[in-house]
Amino acid sequence: MIEHLQDKIFTTISEIADKHQQACYVIGGYVRDLLLKRPSKDIDIVVVGSGIELAGRVAKKTGKNTHLSVFKNFGTAQVKTPVYEIEFVGARKESYQRDSRKPVVEDGTLEDDQNRRDFTINALAICLNKDHYGELIDPFNGLTDLKNQVIRTPLNPDITFSDDPLRMMRAVRFAAQLGFYIEVNTFEAIGRNKERINIISKERVADELNKIILSPKPSVGFILLEKSGLLKLIFPELDDLRGVETKDGVGHKDNFYHTIAVLDNLSEHSDNLWLRWSALLHDVGKTRTKRFDKKLGWTFHNHEFTGMKMLPDIFKKMKLPMNEKMKYTQKMVLLHMRPIVLSEEEITDSAVRRLLFDAGDDIDDLMLLCEADITSKNREKVKRYKGNFQIVRRKLKEIEEKDRIRNFQPPVKGDEIMQLFNLPACSLVGEIKMKIKDAILDGIIPNEYDAAYKYMINIAAEMGISPTTK
């Protein structure tokens, strides 16, 4: 390990710890990521003794570009250098009470500290003291688990998960992020302890969920969440999409598996968290809109509208941001059927302009989502859809270049209409504006002021309104 610990920061910590006879180790995620060759800037140091004292000494030595924060209540301190964020903590022994995540903490040995960690791959420690510099301390065969890509708790998993139920989400997250397997006993323990997830704050659960969503193949995480029973507890609306119903010999697809396939498809093309959330939620309205019709079979009419309406409650409950990120997600969910419907009909300029107008700057994201939504196993069908999408994309480009609809602002403003026709703020003004907008989107007039002005005078006359003469 020595070659990995060449950075000056490690030798500095080592010298200071030796001078004060403190045993000290790099531990946890940094060691795991080092061995996996995933560079990380977050270093955790565990000290047998006071972490705060060692942090203070290190900060003093590393000088003026370093910032020290001490959290006395937690017995930890953080040293921020221009490159690293280093967390110092005294080795501890912890025990938990059943109804809380807050542990009772006592000073402990390195072994105690490793025992209380979540997974064997996160319990690896490297000694920083000179005599054993670079020595790996691996009491639970974490290195073997790392090689075999296994997630396993160091102790009885029922204890590890009951102590801190967030770890059940972390197990799934690491499986998705690293492409690892959850060892069978560990996985079964998640099933047994799942209800304890309810004592974890929604924010922390959402944090882990976001990491799962941002992983290379998020379906891995969602299948594990579903199979362990966690999904029903943390995200029931997604769990509700599961299952296939058959009537008169006609079935529909399993909307849960379809949804996570869409999310995987999208993830190959975009790292945008909220576009990924949109993929996850695009069909969420299907549970409430599902009907069986003798002629049409299964239908989900207006599921995009119902889904869009469900989002504020879901976001609020899951403590997701109720801001422009939610609005963006709502827009994606609402519009996700438009390009596909468009591609199935004759693609008129007017329909393309309306799509551009409604999607605005998010049109490219919407197209990515719609293409990801094609999960059919029928090759011919997929080929046809993809071909049609290419036509839609080409048309979008042509029309955008010609008509600049993407950030369309009506060329004649409401104030001007009110002044010209001496109207108060009323529905007539809105009606005139709407007619001008429709005329532009339908290609009756170009997206220009003069044409819009002339058109406005004409339609106002038809409505019996004429400009006031000054």
List residues near ligand CTP by CB under 6 A.
28-29, 42, 44, 117-118, 122, 164, 166-167, 170
Please state the closest distance from residue 28 (CB atom) to ligand CTP, in A.
3
| DSSP category for residue 293 | E
CA pair distance 46, 92, nearest whole angstrom: 9
Is 80 or 290 the residue whose CB approaches ligand CTP more closely? 80
- Do 336 and 365 contact (CB within 8 A), yes or no? no
Which has the closest alpha carbon to 174: 287, 273, 32, 281?
Answer: 32
Specify the amino acid at residue 354.
Answer: R
Beta-ladder partners of 85: 42, 80
Beta-ladder partners of 125: 27, 137
Report strand pairing: 42-48 vs 23-27. antiparallel
| DSSP category for residue 21 | T
Please state the closest distance from residue 158 (CB atom) to ligand CTP, in A.
15
Please state the closest distance from residue 16 (CB atom) to ligand CTP, in A.
22
Is 203 or 415 the residue whose CB approaches ligand CTP more closely? 203
Sequence length of the chain is 470
Is 36 or 425 the residue whose CB approaches ligand CTP more closely? 36
Please state the closest distance from residue 270 (CB atom) to ligand CTP, in A.
21
Please state the closest distance from residue 89 (CB atom) to ligand CTP, in A.
9
Evaluate the CA torsion angle 182, 185, 191, 194 in order and state its sign: negative
Is 167 or 196 the residue whose CB approaches ligand CTP more closely? 167
Produce one character per residue of 164-194: b if its CB has 16 or more CB atoms within 10 Å, e if not.
Answer: bbbbbbbbbbbbbbbebbbbeebbebbeebb
Please state the closest distance from residue 164 (CB atom) to ligand CTP, in A.
5
Which residues have CB under 8 Å from 189's CB, separation 6+? 153, 156, 157, 158, 160, 161
Is 52 or 429 the residue whose CB approaches ligand CTP more closely? 52
Is 46 or 342 the residue whose CB approaches ligand CTP more closely? 46
Is 89 or 436 the residue whose CB approaches ligand CTP more closely? 89
Please state the closest distance from residue 172 (CB atom) to ligand CTP, in A.
13
Report strand pairing: 150-151 vs 181-182. parallel
CA distance readout (Å), 132 to 128, 181, 236, 326, 374: 7, 32, 51, 52, 56
CA distance readout (Å), 137 to 23, 41, 57, 120: 13, 21, 25, 11
Specify the amino acid at residue 20.
Answer: H
SS (H, E, C) 194-236: HHHHHHCCHHHHHHHHHHHHCCCCCHHHHHHHHHHCHHHHHCH
Is 173 or 303 the residue whose CB approaches ligand CTP more closely? 173
Q: What is the CA radius of gyration of the chain?
A: 30
Is 199 or 322 the residue whose CB approaches ligand CTP more closely? 199
Is 28 or 411 the residue whose CB approaches ligand CTP more closely? 28
CA pair distance 209, 449, nearest whole angstrom: 48
Is 164 or 239 the residue whose CB approaches ligand CTP more closely? 164
CA pair distance 386, 380, nearest whole angstrom: 10
Please state the closest distance from residue 169 (CB atom) to ligand CTP, in A.
9
Please state the closest distance from residue 120 (CB atom) to ligand CTP, in A.
10
Please state the closest distance from residue 218 (CB atom) to ligand CTP, in A.
16
Please state the closest distance from residue 73 (CB atom) to ligand CTP, in A.
18
CA pair distance 266, 372, nearest whole angstrom: 5
Please state the closest distance from residue 101 (CB atom) to ligand CTP, in A.
9
Q: Taking CB positions, which residue lies at the least distance from ligand CTP? A: 29
SS3 category, 425: coil
CA pair distance 44, 50, nearest whole angstrom: 14
Is 78 or 255 the residue whose CB approaches ligand CTP more closely? 78
